[in-house]
Structure 1
Protein backbone atom coordinates (compact mmCIF):
# COMPACT_ATOMS: atom_id res chain seq x y z
CA UNK A 1 0.00 0.00 0.00
CA UNK A 2 1.52 3.29 -1.14
CA UNK A 3 1.46 6.11 1.41
CA UNK A 4 1.65 9.60 -0.06
CA UNK A 5 3.25 12.36 2.02
CA UNK A 6 4.63 9.80 4.49
CA UNK A 7 6.53 12.45 6.49
CA UNK A 8 3.49 14.63 7.06
CA UNK A 9 3.16 15.11 10.82
CA UNK A 10 -0.31 14.21 12.05
CA UNK A 11 0.32 14.60 15.80
CA UNK A 12 2.78 17.50 16.31
CA UNK A 13 3.32 16.96 20.04
CA UNK A 14 4.80 13.42 19.76
CA UNK A 15 5.86 13.98 16.13
CA UNK A 16 3.88 11.04 14.72
CA UNK A 17 3.73 10.98 10.93
CA UNK A 18 1.29 9.59 8.43
CA UNK A 19 3.65 6.69 7.74
CA UNK A 20 3.88 5.95 11.47
CA UNK A 21 0.08 5.81 11.63
CA UNK A 22 0.04 3.29 8.78
CA UNK A 23 2.71 1.24 10.54
CA UNK A 24 0.64 1.30 13.72
CA UNK A 25 -2.41 -0.05 11.88
CA UNK A 26 -0.28 -2.87 10.46
CA UNK A 27 1.14 -3.68 13.90
CA UNK A 28 -2.31 -3.96 15.52
CA UNK A 29 -3.99 -5.12 12.32
CA UNK A 30 -5.42 -8.47 13.41
CA UNK A 31 -6.90 -7.13 16.66
CA UNK A 32 -8.12 -3.99 14.88
CA UNK A 33 -9.98 -6.02 12.24
CA UNK A 34 -11.37 -8.42 14.83
CA UNK A 35 -12.88 -5.47 16.72
CA UNK A 36 -13.96 -3.23 13.84
CA UNK A 37 -14.10 -5.41 10.74
CA UNK A 38 -17.23 -6.65 8.99
CA UNK A 39 -19.07 -3.54 10.18
CA UNK A 40 -20.17 -0.33 8.46
CA UNK A 41 -17.61 2.25 9.49
CA UNK A 42 -17.47 6.05 9.35
CA UNK A 43 -14.09 7.68 8.83
CA UNK A 44 -13.03 10.80 10.73
CA UNK A 45 -10.47 12.41 8.43
CA UNK A 46 -7.85 15.09 9.13
CA UNK A 47 -6.09 16.18 5.92
CA UNK A 48 -3.68 18.47 7.80
CA UNK A 49 -3.31 16.51 11.02
CA UNK A 50 -5.11 16.66 14.34
CA UNK A 51 -4.71 20.43 14.66
CA UNK A 52 -6.35 21.11 11.31
CA UNK A 53 -9.83 20.83 9.86
CA UNK A 54 -11.68 17.54 10.01
CA UNK A 55 -14.68 15.92 8.41
CA UNK A 56 -16.54 12.61 8.44
CA UNK A 57 -16.82 10.25 5.49
CA UNK A 58 -19.77 7.93 5.51
CA UNK A 59 -19.74 7.19 1.80
CA UNK A 60 -16.57 5.34 0.80
CA UNK A 61 -14.04 7.97 -0.40
CA UNK A 62 -13.56 8.30 -4.14
CA UNK A 63 -10.88 6.11 -5.59
CA UNK A 64 -11.43 3.24 -3.18
CA UNK A 65 -9.69 0.08 -4.42
CA UNK A 66 -11.89 -2.69 -5.80
CA UNK A 67 -11.00 -4.91 -2.87
CA UNK A 68 -12.35 -2.43 -0.30
CA UNK A 69 -15.93 -3.45 0.41
CA UNK A 70 -18.98 -1.27 1.05
CA UNK A 71 -22.45 -2.08 2.35
CA UNK A 72 -25.68 -0.10 2.10
CA UNK A 73 -27.15 0.97 5.44
CA UNK A 74 -30.31 2.80 6.44
CA UNK A 75 -30.17 5.97 8.54
CA UNK A 76 -32.70 7.35 11.06
CA UNK A 77 -34.03 9.66 8.34
CA UNK A 78 -34.96 6.63 6.26
CA UNK A 79 -32.45 7.32 3.51
CA UNK A 80 -29.82 4.75 2.59
CA UNK A 81 -26.33 4.80 1.15
CA UNK A 82 -23.15 2.71 1.27
CA UNK A 83 -20.52 2.77 3.98
CA UNK A 84 -17.03 1.36 4.00
CA UNK A 85 -16.38 -2.08 5.51
CA UNK A 86 -12.92 -3.11 6.72
CA UNK A 87 -12.11 -6.76 5.99
CA UNK A 88 -8.32 -6.72 6.36
CA UNK A 89 -5.59 -4.47 7.77
CA UNK A 90 -4.80 -3.16 4.28
CA UNK A 91 -8.23 -1.49 4.16
CA UNK A 92 -7.45 0.36 7.40
CA UNK A 93 -4.07 1.40 5.99
CA UNK A 94 -5.79 2.64 2.83
CA UNK A 95 -8.16 4.68 5.03
CA UNK A 96 -5.10 6.17 6.76
CA UNK A 97 -3.71 7.02 3.34
CA UNK A 98 -6.97 8.98 2.90
CA UNK A 99 -6.11 10.89 6.12
CA UNK A 100 -8.36 8.90 8.44
CA UNK A 101 -7.32 9.05 12.09
CA UNK A 102 -10.45 7.89 13.96
CA UNK A 103 -12.52 4.87 12.92
CA UNK A 104 -16.17 4.74 14.01
CA UNK A 105 -17.69 1.24 13.48
CA UNK A 106 -21.38 0.46 13.82
CA UNK A 107 -22.64 -1.88 16.55
CA UNK A 108 -23.98 -4.22 13.85
CA UNK A 109 -22.46 -6.45 11.18
CA UNK A 110 -22.33 -5.50 7.53
CA UNK A 111 -24.81 -8.09 6.31
CA UNK A 112 -27.27 -7.51 9.16
CA UNK A 113 -26.83 -3.80 9.77
CA UNK A 114 -30.29 -3.36 11.33
CA UNK A 115 -29.52 -5.77 14.17
CA UNK A 116 -26.72 -4.85 16.63
CA UNK A 117 -24.55 -7.65 17.97
CA UNK A 118 -23.01 -5.36 20.59
CA UNK A 119 -24.68 -3.51 23.43
CA UNK A 120 -22.52 -0.43 23.93
CA UNK A 121 -22.51 1.95 26.88
CA UNK A 122 -20.48 5.16 26.96
CA UNK A 123 -19.56 6.41 30.45
CA UNK A 124 -18.95 10.12 29.95
CA UNK A 125 -17.34 12.08 32.82
CA UNK A 126 -18.88 15.50 33.33
CA UNK A 127 -16.94 18.61 34.43
CA UNK A 128 -15.45 17.99 37.85
CA UNK A 129 -15.03 14.27 37.20
CA UNK A 130 -12.63 12.21 35.12
CA UNK A 131 -11.40 8.74 34.34
CA UNK A 132 -10.79 7.88 38.01
CA UNK A 133 -14.42 8.64 38.87
CA UNK A 134 -15.64 6.58 35.91
CA UNK A 135 -13.77 3.44 37.02
CA UNK A 136 -16.03 2.41 39.95
CA UNK A 137 -19.05 3.20 37.79
CA UNK A 138 -17.77 0.85 35.08
CA UNK A 139 -17.21 -1.89 37.66
CA UNK A 140 -20.74 -1.46 39.00
CA UNK A 141 -22.11 -1.48 35.45
CA UNK A 142 -20.34 -4.76 34.84
CA UNK A 143 -22.23 -6.21 37.82
CA UNK A 144 -25.54 -4.84 36.55
CA UNK A 145 -25.01 -6.41 33.12
CA UNK A 146 -23.95 -9.71 34.70
CA UNK A 147 -27.23 -9.77 36.66
CA UNK A 148 -29.00 -9.36 33.30
CA UNK A 149 -27.07 -12.31 31.85
CA UNK A 150 -24.51 -10.34 29.84
CA UNK A 151 -20.71 -10.49 29.82
CA UNK A 152 -19.12 -7.04 29.78
CA UNK A 153 -15.88 -5.96 28.12
CA UNK A 154 -14.16 -2.65 28.78
CA UNK A 155 -11.91 -0.19 26.96
CA UNK A 156 -10.66 3.33 27.41
CA UNK A 157 -12.38 5.91 25.25
CA UNK A 158 -8.97 7.38 24.46
CA UNK A 159 -9.82 10.42 26.52
CA UNK A 160 -11.45 10.65 29.97
CA UNK A 161 -14.31 8.22 29.45
CA UNK A 162 -14.83 4.48 29.52
CA UNK A 163 -16.65 2.29 27.01
CA UNK A 164 -18.40 -0.89 28.19
CA UNK A 165 -19.50 -3.39 25.54
CA UNK A 166 -21.47 -6.63 25.84
CA UNK A 167 -21.87 -9.06 22.92
CA UNK A 168 -25.51 -9.89 22.17
CA UNK A 169 -27.38 -12.17 19.82
CA UNK A 170 -28.39 -9.98 16.82
CA UNK A 171 -32.13 -10.50 17.14
CA UNK A 172 -33.22 -7.00 18.17
CA UNK A 173 -33.21 -3.74 16.25
CA UNK A 174 -31.50 -0.58 17.45
CA UNK A 175 -34.52 0.82 19.31
CA UNK A 176 -34.80 -2.33 21.42
CA UNK A 177 -31.09 -2.27 22.22
CA UNK A 178 -31.37 1.41 23.13
CA UNK A 179 -34.16 0.53 25.56
CA UNK A 180 -31.99 -2.22 27.04
CA UNK A 181 -29.18 0.31 27.55
CA UNK A 182 -31.57 2.77 29.21
CA UNK A 183 -32.80 0.02 31.54
CA UNK A 184 -29.23 -0.82 32.56
CA UNK A 185 -28.39 2.88 32.95
CA UNK A 186 -31.39 3.52 35.18
CA UNK A 187 -30.54 0.55 37.37
CA UNK A 188 -26.97 1.82 37.66
CA UNK A 189 -28.26 5.29 38.53
CA UNK A 190 -30.49 3.86 41.27
CA UNK A 191 -27.50 2.13 42.83
CA UNK A 192 -25.11 5.09 42.51
CA UNK A 193 -27.27 8.25 42.49
CA UNK A 194 -24.43 10.51 43.64
CA UNK A 195 -22.00 9.24 41.00
CA UNK A 196 -24.22 8.46 38.00
CA UNK A 197 -26.80 10.31 35.91
CA UNK A 198 -28.97 9.54 32.91
CA UNK A 199 -29.98 13.22 32.52
CA UNK A 200 -29.79 14.13 28.84
CA UNK A 201 -29.60 17.87 29.53
CA UNK A 202 -26.18 19.03 30.71
CA UNK A 203 -27.64 21.52 33.16
CA UNK A 204 -29.07 18.59 35.16
CA UNK A 205 -26.03 16.30 35.25
CA UNK A 206 -23.85 17.91 37.90
CA UNK A 207 -20.46 16.40 38.75
CA UNK A 208 -21.44 12.86 37.85
CA UNK A 209 -20.76 10.26 35.19
CA UNK A 210 -23.30 10.52 32.39
CA UNK A 211 -24.44 7.21 30.92
CA UNK A 212 -24.82 8.22 27.28
CA UNK A 213 -27.72 6.01 26.21
CA UNK A 214 -28.01 7.77 22.86
CA UNK A 215 -24.79 6.14 21.68
CA UNK A 216 -26.93 3.01 21.31
CA UNK A 217 -28.98 4.57 18.49
CA UNK A 218 -28.77 3.71 14.82
CA UNK A 219 -25.92 5.60 13.12
CA UNK A 220 -24.46 6.61 16.49
CA UNK A 221 -20.91 5.40 16.90
CA UNK A 222 -17.88 5.81 19.13
CA UNK A 223 -14.20 5.35 18.39
CA UNK A 224 -13.51 1.68 17.74
CA UNK A 225 -11.20 -0.55 19.75
CA UNK A 226 -7.56 0.19 18.85
CA UNK A 227 -8.64 3.29 16.91
CA UNK A 228 -6.35 6.29 17.37
CA UNK A 229 -7.91 9.47 18.69
CA UNK A 230 -7.34 13.01 17.45
CA UNK A 231 -5.89 14.20 20.75
CA UNK A 232 -2.48 15.85 21.15
CA UNK A 233 -0.83 12.81 22.77
CA UNK A 234 -2.05 10.36 20.05
CA UNK A 235 -4.10 8.25 22.41
CA UNK A 236 -5.78 5.00 21.43
CA UNK A 237 -9.14 3.61 22.53
CA UNK A 238 -7.60 0.57 24.19
CA UNK A 239 -9.27 -2.67 25.34
CA UNK A 240 -8.38 -3.69 28.89
CA UNK A 241 -8.82 -6.66 31.16
CA UNK A 242 -11.10 -5.76 34.02
CA UNK A 243 -8.25 -6.34 36.45
CA UNK A 244 -6.25 -3.56 34.78
CA UNK A 245 -8.94 -0.91 34.98
CA UNK A 246 -8.37 0.42 38.49
CA UNK A 247 -4.70 1.23 37.87
CA UNK A 248 -4.98 2.23 34.21
CA UNK A 249 -3.91 5.63 32.92
CA UNK A 250 -5.64 6.29 29.57
CA UNK A 251 -2.87 8.66 28.49
CA UNK A 252 -0.39 5.75 28.47
CA UNK A 253 -2.20 3.93 25.64
CA UNK A 254 -0.98 5.63 22.47
CA UNK A 255 -0.07 4.94 18.87
CA UNK A 256 3.52 4.57 20.09
CA UNK A 257 2.86 2.20 23.00
CA UNK A 258 -0.12 0.00 22.15
CA UNK A 259 1.63 -2.30 19.60
CA UNK A 260 4.15 -3.43 22.23
CA UNK A 261 1.36 -3.84 24.78
CA UNK A 262 -0.61 -6.00 22.36
CA UNK A 263 2.44 -8.21 21.79
CA UNK A 264 3.09 -8.52 25.53
CA UNK A 265 -0.42 -9.09 26.93
CA UNK A 266 -2.52 -10.06 23.92
CA UNK A 267 -5.96 -8.78 23.00
CA UNK A 268 -8.38 -8.66 25.97
CA UNK A 269 -11.29 -8.61 23.49
CA UNK A 270 -10.16 -11.60 21.43
CA UNK A 271 -12.97 -13.87 22.66
CA UNK A 272 -15.68 -11.23 22.93
CA UNK A 273 -18.14 -12.90 20.57
CA UNK A 274 -17.61 -16.50 21.65
CA UNK A 275 -20.76 -16.51 23.79
CA UNK A 276 -23.13 -13.62 23.00
CA UNK A 277 -25.93 -12.97 25.46
CA UNK A 278 -29.54 -11.90 25.22
CA UNK A 279 -31.24 -8.67 26.26
CA UNK A 280 -34.52 -10.22 27.39
CA UNK A 281 -33.84 -9.42 31.05
CA UNK A 282 -32.97 -5.80 30.31
CA UNK A 283 -36.12 -5.42 28.24
CA UNK A 284 -38.10 -6.78 31.17
CA UNK A 285 -36.46 -4.05 33.30
CA UNK A 286 -37.42 -1.50 30.64
CA UNK A 287 -41.07 -2.60 30.78
CA UNK A 288 -40.97 -2.59 34.59
CA UNK A 289 -39.75 1.01 34.55
CA UNK A 290 -42.43 1.98 32.04
CA UNK A 291 -45.07 0.55 34.37
CA UNK A 292 -43.52 2.60 37.17
CA UNK A 293 -43.95 5.81 35.16
CA UNK A 294 -40.44 6.13 33.69
CA UNK A 295 -40.94 6.76 29.99
CA UNK A 296 -38.84 7.27 26.89
CA UNK A 297 -35.80 9.55 27.04
CA UNK A 298 -34.82 12.25 24.52
CA UNK A 299 -33.26 11.32 21.19
CA UNK A 300 -30.47 13.24 19.44
CA UNK A 301 -31.64 16.50 17.86
CA UNK A 302 -31.13 15.28 14.28
CA UNK A 303 -33.46 12.30 14.78
CA UNK A 304 -37.11 12.43 13.74
CA UNK A 305 -39.55 12.84 16.61
CA UNK A 306 -39.94 9.40 18.17
CA UNK A 307 -43.00 7.82 19.82
CA UNK A 308 -43.29 8.63 23.50
CA UNK A 309 -40.34 11.00 23.43
CA UNK A 310 -40.45 13.94 25.88
CA UNK A 311 -40.19 17.51 24.55
CA UNK A 312 -36.78 18.42 23.15
CA UNK A 313 -36.33 21.54 25.22
CA UNK A 314 -33.96 22.28 28.06
CA UNK A 315 -35.77 22.08 31.42
CA UNK A 316 -34.72 25.63 32.36
CA UNK A 317 -36.16 26.97 29.11
CA UNK A 318 -39.35 25.00 29.62
CA UNK A 319 -39.73 26.43 33.13
CA UNK A 320 -39.12 29.95 31.86
CA UNK A 321 -41.68 29.48 29.10
CA UNK A 322 -44.23 28.19 31.61
CA UNK A 323 -43.56 31.19 33.86
CA UNK A 324 -43.97 33.64 31.00
CA UNK A 325 -47.24 32.00 30.11
Structure 2
Protein backbone atom coordinates (compact mmCIF):
# COMPACT_ATOMS: atom_id res chain seq x y z
CA UNK A 1 0.00 0.00 0.00
CA UNK A 2 1.25 3.45 -0.89
CA UNK A 3 0.31 6.67 0.87
CA UNK A 4 1.06 10.02 -0.75
CA UNK A 5 0.76 13.15 1.39
CA UNK A 6 -0.84 15.70 -0.91
CA UNK A 7 -1.11 18.38 1.77
CA UNK A 8 0.28 18.46 5.32
CA UNK A 9 -0.88 21.79 6.78
CA UNK A 10 -4.02 22.68 8.68
CA UNK A 11 -6.68 25.05 7.35
CA UNK A 12 -5.16 28.11 5.71
CA UNK A 13 -1.95 26.33 4.70
CA UNK A 14 1.59 27.44 5.46
CA UNK A 15 2.13 30.34 5.31
CA UNK A 16 -1.41 31.48 5.98
CA UNK A 17 -2.34 34.43 3.80
CA UNK A 18 -3.23 36.81 6.66
CA UNK A 19 -0.70 35.70 9.28
CA UNK A 20 2.60 37.27 10.40
CA UNK A 21 3.45 34.79 13.16
CA UNK A 22 7.15 33.86 13.48
CA UNK A 23 6.77 30.69 11.40
CA UNK A 24 4.89 32.42 8.56
CA UNK A 25 7.48 35.20 8.48
CA UNK A 26 10.27 32.62 8.38
CA UNK A 27 8.86 30.69 5.42
CA UNK A 28 8.18 33.90 3.48
CA UNK A 29 11.64 35.37 4.02
CA UNK A 30 13.69 32.18 4.10
CA UNK A 31 15.14 33.29 7.44
CA UNK A 32 14.94 29.74 8.84
CA UNK A 33 14.80 26.28 7.25
CA UNK A 34 11.18 25.46 6.46
CA UNK A 35 9.03 24.84 3.40
CA UNK A 36 5.51 25.90 2.39
CA UNK A 37 2.70 23.40 2.84
CA UNK A 38 -0.80 23.08 1.40
CA UNK A 39 -3.91 22.03 3.27
CA UNK A 40 -4.23 18.49 4.57
CA UNK A 41 -5.13 15.56 2.31
CA UNK A 42 -3.67 12.16 1.40
CA UNK A 43 -4.00 9.65 -1.42
CA UNK A 44 -3.93 5.87 -0.85
CA UNK A 45 -3.42 3.06 -3.38
CA UNK A 46 -2.39 -0.59 -3.52
CA UNK A 47 -1.41 -0.60 -7.21
CA UNK A 48 -0.50 3.04 -8.00
CA UNK A 49 -3.26 3.00 -10.61
CA UNK A 50 -6.42 3.43 -8.56
CA UNK A 51 -6.21 6.09 -5.88
CA UNK A 52 -8.53 7.02 -3.04
CA UNK A 53 -8.49 10.54 -1.68
CA UNK A 54 -8.90 11.20 2.03
CA UNK A 55 -10.34 14.71 2.40
CA UNK A 56 -10.49 17.20 -0.44
CA UNK A 57 -8.74 20.43 0.45
CA UNK A 58 -9.17 23.79 -1.32
CA UNK A 59 -5.69 23.12 -2.78
CA UNK A 60 -6.79 19.95 -4.58
CA UNK A 61 -6.07 21.20 -8.12
CA UNK A 62 -2.42 22.03 -7.47
CA UNK A 63 -2.02 18.91 -5.33
CA UNK A 64 -3.20 16.66 -8.15
CA UNK A 65 -1.04 18.45 -10.70
CA UNK A 66 2.01 17.99 -8.48
CA UNK A 67 1.48 14.22 -8.35
CA UNK A 68 1.66 12.48 -11.78
CA UNK A 69 0.01 9.30 -10.48
CA UNK A 70 -3.25 11.26 -10.25
CA UNK A 71 -3.05 12.70 -13.76
CA UNK A 72 -5.75 11.39 -16.13
CA UNK A 73 -4.98 8.73 -18.73
CA UNK A 74 -5.80 9.07 -22.42
CA UNK A 75 -9.49 9.72 -22.95
CA UNK A 76 -9.71 11.62 -19.65
CA UNK A 77 -9.90 8.41 -17.63
CA UNK A 78 -9.25 9.54 -14.07
CA UNK A 79 -7.37 7.46 -11.54
CA UNK A 80 -9.16 8.95 -8.55
CA UNK A 81 -11.86 6.49 -7.50
CA UNK A 82 -13.52 8.13 -4.49
CA UNK A 83 -13.16 10.70 -1.74
CA UNK A 84 -13.43 9.73 1.93
CA UNK A 85 -14.18 12.49 4.43
CA UNK A 86 -13.18 12.63 8.09
CA UNK A 87 -15.47 15.58 8.88
CA UNK A 88 -17.30 18.50 7.27
CA UNK A 89 -14.68 21.22 7.86
CA UNK A 90 -14.19 23.57 4.92
CA UNK A 91 -10.46 22.83 4.65
CA UNK A 92 -11.37 19.16 4.14
CA UNK A 93 -14.33 19.55 1.78
CA UNK A 94 -14.11 22.69 -0.39
CA UNK A 95 -11.98 20.78 -2.88
CA UNK A 96 -15.07 18.75 -3.78
CA UNK A 97 -16.43 21.80 -5.60
CA UNK A 98 -13.25 21.99 -7.68
CA UNK A 99 -13.91 18.44 -8.91
CA UNK A 100 -17.27 19.33 -10.46
CA UNK A 101 -15.98 18.91 -14.05
CA UNK A 102 -15.91 15.12 -13.70
CA UNK A 103 -18.56 12.68 -14.85
CA UNK A 104 -19.46 11.98 -11.25
CA UNK A 105 -17.95 11.68 -7.81
CA UNK A 106 -18.21 9.00 -5.13
CA UNK A 107 -18.10 10.48 -1.63
CA UNK A 108 -17.80 8.40 1.53
CA UNK A 109 -19.07 10.25 4.62
CA UNK A 110 -20.98 9.58 7.79
CA UNK A 111 -24.62 10.57 8.01
CA UNK A 112 -23.67 13.50 10.25
CA UNK A 113 -21.06 14.81 7.78
CA UNK A 114 -23.40 14.29 4.84
CA UNK A 115 -26.16 16.23 6.60
CA UNK A 116 -23.83 19.16 7.36
CA UNK A 117 -22.51 19.27 3.79
CA UNK A 118 -26.02 19.18 2.37
CA UNK A 119 -28.11 21.45 4.59
CA UNK A 120 -25.36 23.33 6.42
CA UNK A 121 -22.44 24.41 4.24
CA UNK A 122 -24.29 23.30 1.10
CA UNK A 123 -21.09 21.89 -0.46
CA UNK A 124 -22.68 18.62 -1.58
CA UNK A 125 -25.92 20.30 -2.61
CA UNK A 126 -23.96 22.69 -4.81
CA UNK A 127 -21.72 19.95 -6.21
CA UNK A 128 -24.75 17.85 -7.15
CA UNK A 129 -25.99 20.69 -9.37
CA UNK A 130 -22.87 20.25 -11.54
CA UNK A 131 -22.19 16.50 -11.53
CA UNK A 132 -23.71 13.29 -10.16
CA UNK A 133 -22.70 12.61 -6.56
CA UNK A 134 -22.86 9.07 -5.18
CA UNK A 135 -22.96 9.11 -1.39
CA UNK A 136 -21.59 6.04 0.35
CA UNK A 137 -22.69 6.12 3.98
CA UNK A 138 -19.81 5.55 6.40
CA UNK A 139 -20.87 3.52 9.40
CA UNK A 140 -18.20 3.56 12.15
CA UNK A 141 -17.15 0.03 13.04
CA UNK A 142 -18.10 -1.52 9.70
CA UNK A 143 -15.42 -3.05 7.48
CA UNK A 144 -15.87 -1.81 3.91
CA UNK A 145 -14.18 -2.98 0.70
CA UNK A 146 -12.45 -0.16 -1.11
CA UNK A 147 -11.33 -1.40 -4.48
CA UNK A 148 -9.29 -4.55 -5.06
CA UNK A 149 -7.05 -5.28 -2.07
CA UNK A 150 -8.12 -2.42 0.22
CA UNK A 151 -10.63 -2.13 3.03
CA UNK A 152 -11.40 0.61 5.51
CA UNK A 153 -13.04 0.83 8.91
CA UNK A 154 -14.03 4.22 10.29
CA UNK A 155 -14.16 4.94 14.00
CA UNK A 156 -15.96 7.72 15.82
CA UNK A 157 -13.79 10.50 17.31
CA UNK A 158 -15.89 12.36 19.91
CA UNK A 159 -15.61 16.14 20.02
CA UNK A 160 -17.38 18.97 21.80
CA UNK A 161 -16.09 21.65 19.45
CA UNK A 162 -18.84 24.15 18.69
CA UNK A 163 -20.95 23.20 15.68
CA UNK A 164 -21.20 26.01 13.15
CA UNK A 165 -24.23 24.38 11.56
CA UNK A 166 -26.30 22.73 14.33
CA UNK A 167 -28.72 19.98 13.48
CA UNK A 168 -26.53 17.07 12.47
CA UNK A 169 -25.87 14.16 14.79
CA UNK A 170 -22.91 14.39 17.18
CA UNK A 171 -22.08 10.74 16.47
CA UNK A 172 -19.89 10.44 13.42
CA UNK A 173 -19.26 14.18 13.30
CA UNK A 174 -15.52 13.41 13.22
CA UNK A 175 -14.05 10.04 12.31
CA UNK A 176 -10.67 8.44 11.77
CA UNK A 177 -9.97 5.69 9.25
CA UNK A 178 -8.10 2.41 9.49
CA UNK A 179 -7.15 1.45 5.93
CA UNK A 180 -5.90 -2.11 5.42
CA UNK A 181 -3.97 -3.73 2.59
CA UNK A 182 -5.73 -7.10 2.67
CA UNK A 183 -2.97 -8.88 0.75
CA UNK A 184 -0.25 -7.95 3.23
CA UNK A 185 -2.32 -7.41 6.34
CA UNK A 186 -0.79 -3.98 6.95
CA UNK A 187 -2.86 -1.04 8.16
CA UNK A 188 -2.72 2.74 8.09
CA UNK A 189 -4.53 5.01 10.53
CA UNK A 190 -5.52 8.44 9.21
CA UNK A 191 -6.63 10.76 12.01
CA UNK A 192 -6.08 14.42 11.08
CA UNK A 193 -8.43 15.80 13.74
CA UNK A 194 -8.72 14.51 17.30
CA UNK A 195 -9.65 16.56 20.35
CA UNK A 196 -8.56 14.08 23.01
CA UNK A 197 -6.74 10.78 22.93
CA UNK A 198 -9.14 8.90 25.16
CA UNK A 199 -8.53 5.21 26.00
CA UNK A 200 -11.14 4.34 23.37
CA UNK A 201 -9.36 6.32 20.64
CA UNK A 202 -5.94 4.97 21.66
CA UNK A 203 -7.34 1.45 21.41
CA UNK A 204 -8.21 2.15 17.77
CA UNK A 205 -4.56 2.97 17.06
CA UNK A 206 -3.17 -0.40 18.14
CA UNK A 207 -1.65 -2.85 15.66
CA UNK A 208 -1.29 -0.37 12.80
CA UNK A 209 1.89 -0.08 10.75
CA UNK A 210 1.66 3.66 10.15
CA UNK A 211 -0.11 6.46 12.00
CA UNK A 212 -0.84 9.81 10.36
CA UNK A 213 -2.22 12.00 13.12
CA UNK A 214 -3.29 15.49 14.15
CA UNK A 215 -0.28 17.72 14.78
CA UNK A 216 -2.13 21.04 14.63
CA UNK A 217 -0.65 22.76 17.68
CA UNK A 218 2.42 22.34 19.87
CA UNK A 219 0.89 23.99 22.94
CA UNK A 220 -2.67 24.09 24.15
CA UNK A 221 -2.45 27.89 24.56
CA UNK A 222 -0.50 28.48 21.34
CA UNK A 223 -2.99 30.81 19.68
CA UNK A 224 -3.75 32.96 22.78
CA UNK A 225 -0.01 33.30 23.49
CA UNK A 226 0.56 34.70 20.02
CA UNK A 227 -2.44 36.99 20.32
CA UNK A 228 -4.08 35.36 17.30
CA UNK A 229 -7.19 33.85 18.89
CA UNK A 230 -8.84 33.40 22.25
CA UNK A 231 -9.40 29.65 21.94
CA UNK A 232 -7.06 26.91 23.05
CA UNK A 233 -6.01 23.98 20.91
CA UNK A 234 -8.49 21.66 22.59
CA UNK A 235 -11.29 24.20 22.28
CA UNK A 236 -10.58 24.24 18.54
CA UNK A 237 -10.90 20.46 18.39
CA UNK A 238 -7.24 19.41 18.46
CA UNK A 239 -5.16 17.68 21.10
CA UNK A 240 -1.86 19.60 21.55
CA UNK A 241 1.42 17.79 21.03
CA UNK A 242 3.15 18.97 24.21
CA UNK A 243 2.12 18.94 27.86
CA UNK A 244 0.30 16.52 30.16
CA UNK A 245 -2.15 14.44 28.18
CA UNK A 246 -0.61 15.74 24.96
CA UNK A 247 -0.20 13.49 21.94
CA UNK A 248 3.58 13.17 22.25
CA UNK A 249 3.28 11.73 25.75
CA UNK A 250 0.60 9.26 24.72
CA UNK A 251 1.78 8.27 21.25
CA UNK A 252 5.55 7.98 21.52
CA UNK A 253 5.38 4.68 23.50
CA UNK A 254 3.10 3.01 20.93
CA UNK A 255 4.77 0.16 18.98
CA UNK A 256 3.97 1.64 15.56
CA UNK A 257 6.58 1.55 12.78
CA UNK A 258 6.01 5.12 11.63
CA UNK A 259 4.21 7.89 13.51
CA UNK A 260 3.78 11.05 11.47
CA UNK A 261 2.24 14.39 12.40
CA UNK A 262 0.22 16.20 9.75
CA UNK A 263 -2.58 18.80 9.64
CA UNK A 264 -0.02 21.19 11.15
CA UNK A 265 -1.16 24.73 11.92
CA UNK A 266 0.95 27.59 10.58
CA UNK A 267 1.79 28.70 14.15
CA UNK A 268 3.28 25.35 15.17
CA UNK A 269 7.09 25.60 15.66
CA UNK A 270 7.61 22.01 14.44
CA UNK A 271 7.33 23.48 10.93
CA UNK A 272 10.75 25.06 11.53
CA UNK A 273 13.33 22.36 10.88
CA UNK A 274 15.87 23.86 13.29
CA UNK A 275 13.45 24.37 16.18
CA UNK A 276 13.90 22.76 19.61
CA UNK A 277 10.39 21.34 19.22
CA UNK A 278 11.37 19.50 16.04
CA UNK A 279 14.40 18.02 17.80
CA UNK A 280 12.18 16.79 20.62
CA UNK A 281 9.96 14.94 18.13
CA UNK A 282 12.98 13.37 16.45
CA UNK A 283 14.28 12.08 19.79
CA UNK A 284 10.90 10.44 20.40
CA UNK A 285 10.74 8.80 16.98
CA UNK A 286 8.00 11.07 15.64
CA UNK A 287 8.03 12.45 12.09
CA UNK A 288 6.65 15.64 10.56
CA UNK A 289 4.84 15.34 7.24
CA UNK A 290 5.62 17.52 4.27
CA UNK A 291 3.76 17.84 0.97
CA UNK A 292 4.89 15.10 -1.41
CA UNK A 293 5.98 12.73 1.36
CA UNK A 294 5.39 9.14 0.31
CA UNK A 295 5.11 6.08 2.52
CA UNK A 296 5.13 2.45 1.44
CA UNK A 297 3.35 0.29 3.98
TM-score class, shorter: under 0.3
Q: TM-score of the superposition, structure 2-length normalised?
A: 0.27
Q: TM-score of the superposition, structure 1-length normalised?
A: 0.25
- The structure carrying a bigger strand percent of its residues is 2
